[in-house]
Amino acid sequence: MWPADKRAAVAFTFDFDAEEVWIGMDEANATRPGVLSQGAYGAKVGLPLVLELLARHELTATFFVPGRVAERYPERVAEILAAGHEIGLHGYTHRGPGRLAGVTEEVSELDRSLAVLRALGANPVGFRSPSWDFGEQTLALLAERGIVYSSNMMDDIRPYVHQPSGIVELPVQWILDDAPHFMFDNASWEKTIRSPREVGEIWEAELRGIHALGGLGVLTTHPQFIGRPGRLPLLERTIELVLALEGVWVATAGEIARHVRARAEAGPAPTAQAEAEPAPTAQAEAEPAPGKSAGAEP
Ligand SMILES: [Zn+2]
């Protein structure tokens, strides 16, 4: 599954949603500057602080950016690229397929977001749907456009390859997201704000668990939430925790997806036992090298 000296992988990903997450929830928010300022914080303050933190740890990450956010903040896109990070697709507006008027609008969202990001010098190979919402035809649309990976599904702890599209999936989960823990619902006031310590415990347990099982941890955070002064130390502690894990491969989502695709194209890897023993026992032939490739191959 992983490069030879690695036993698990972690990707740090950031969804740079800015105002679009609130507009995506309710078009009427587009005329509410107070509501939108929660997202503007991500562009004005949160993102520069996140970039500074990543630079300090010499870490490259993946930023999923809606097309409209890139149009509004082209200088921020330039800063992300200049720092060597990856940029992926995250809709044009921040609306998933379930909120769009069918395939025609989904195609238009995809193509507009691709055009905007390419014009700003990015070459997106990955797609994260707004709110991880997905349509039945989404994978085929991505494959038609040469997209390499999706980071949307919650059905595994290891990457896999969707068939027949050949799109690599880098699975996610709300557990390793900051929004469910930190996004305040100012419409209902029903969702409380959790403490960084509590969220740190949730993330640490999940990341350690995934590492122990040889999987992929995809941390999904948002500059408007994780970029608050009280939460940046949580991101830093999480980076330090991950970097200290034994044999962990920390890479961008794109690097991990390309590795997975190359392995899938190379075909099933020879088992460790077959490599070590020219004349395998009957038992070894019957059982595919436990723990080495189980469950990970497409
Ligand atoms: Zn988003």
Per-residue pLDDT tens for 237-270? 999 999 999 999 999 999 999 999 999 999 876 6
State yes or no: pLDDT of 279 exceeds 60: no
Question: Quick one: pLDDT at residue 273?
Answer: 52
Are both 215 and 289 inside the same structural domain? no
Distance from the Cα of residue 198 to its chain's centroid: 22
Question: Quick one: pLDDT at residue 268?
Answer: 74
Question: Quick one: pLDDT at residue 184?
Answer: 85
Q: Compute, in angstroms, the gap from residue 41 CA to the centroid of ligand 1.
A: 15
Mean pLDDT (whole number) for 284-296: 41
Structural domain boundaries enclosing 164: 8-267
Question: CA-CA distance, 116 to 79, in Å (whole number)?
Answer: 16
Q: Compute, in angstroms, the gap from residue 13 CA to the centroid of ligand 1.
A: 11
The one-letter code for the residue type at 100 is L
Q: Compute, in angstroms, the gap from residue 102 CA to the centroid of ligand 1.
A: 20
Top-confidence residue, 213 or 295: 213
Top-confidence residue, 268 or 159: 159
State yes or no: pLDDT of 296 exceeds 50: no
- Contact yes or no for 85/253 (Cβ under 8 A): no
Backbone angles phi, psi at 5, to 5 degrees: -95, 10
Residue 126 lies in a domain: yes
Token pair 């055009």 in the structure block, residue: 115
Q: Compute, in angstroms, the gap from residue 274 CA to the centroid of ligand 1.
A: 45
Are both 217 and 288 inside the same structural domain? no
Are both 118 and 61 inside the same structural domain? yes
Distance from the Cα of residue 38 to its chain's centroid: 22
pLDDT tens-place string over residues 182-219: 998 877 888 889 999 999 999 999 999 999 999 999 99
Q: State pTM to two decimals.
A: 0.89
Are both 106 and 172 inside the same structural domain? yes
Are both 117 and 198 inside the same structural domain? yes
Contacts of 89 (CB under 8 A, 6+ apart): 64, 65, 110, 113, 114, 117, 124, 126, 127, 128, 147
Residue 3 lies in a domain: no
Q: Compute, in angstroms, the gap from residue 14 CA to the centroid of ligand 1.
A: 9
State yes or no: pLDDT of 15 exceeds 60: yes
CB atoms within 10 A of CB 2: 22
Question: CA-CA distance, 17 to 228, in Å (whole number)?
Answer: 15
Q: Compute, in angstroms, the gap from residue 270 CA to the centroid of ligand 1.
A: 40
Residue 286 lies in a domain: yes
Residue 182 lies in a domain: yes
Are both 105 and 212 inside the same structural domain? yes
Question: CA-CA distance, 209 to 249, in Å (whole number)?
Answer: 15
Share of the chain above pLDDT 90, in %: 82
Are both 111 and 198 inside the same structural domain? yes
Question: CA-CA distance, 75 to 55, in Å (whole number)?
Answer: 18
pLDDT tens-place string over residues 35-92: 999 999 999 999 999 999 999 999 999 999 999 999 999 999 999 999 999 999 999 9
Question: CA-CA distance, 268 to 266, in Å (whole number)?
Answer: 7
Q: Is 15 helix (H, G, I), strand (E, B) or coil?
A: strand
Top-confidence residue, 96 or 142: 142
Q: Compute, in angstroms, the gap from residue 260 CA to the centroid of ligand 1.
A: 25
State yes or no: pLDDT of 276 exceeds 80: no
Q: Compute, in angstroms, the gap from residue 59 CA to the centroid of ligand 1.
A: 22
Residue 293 lies in a domain: yes
* Of 222, 219, 194, 182, residue with least CA distance to 94: 222
Structure tokens at 11: 């990707």
Q: Compute, in angstroms, the gap from residue 185 CA to the centroid of ligand 1.
A: 16
- Contact yes or no for 68/22 (Cβ under 8 A): no
Mean pLDDT (whole number) for 128-157: 96
Structure tokens at 219: 């941390």
Confidence of residue 98 (pLDDT cuts 50, 70, 90): confident
Q: Compute, in angstroms, the gap from residue 220 CA to the centroid of ligand 1.
A: 10
Contacts of 54 (CB under 8 A, 6+ apart): 12, 60, 61, 83, 85
Question: Quick one: pLDDT at residue 270?
Answer: 60
Are both 241 and 148 inside the same structural domain? yes
Residue-averaged pLDDT of the chain? 91
Question: Quick one: pLDDT at residue 271?
Answer: 58
Top-confidence residue, 287 or 259: 259
Question: CA-CA distance, 241 to 218, in Å (whole number)?
Answer: 14
Are both 174 and 296 inside the same structural domain? no
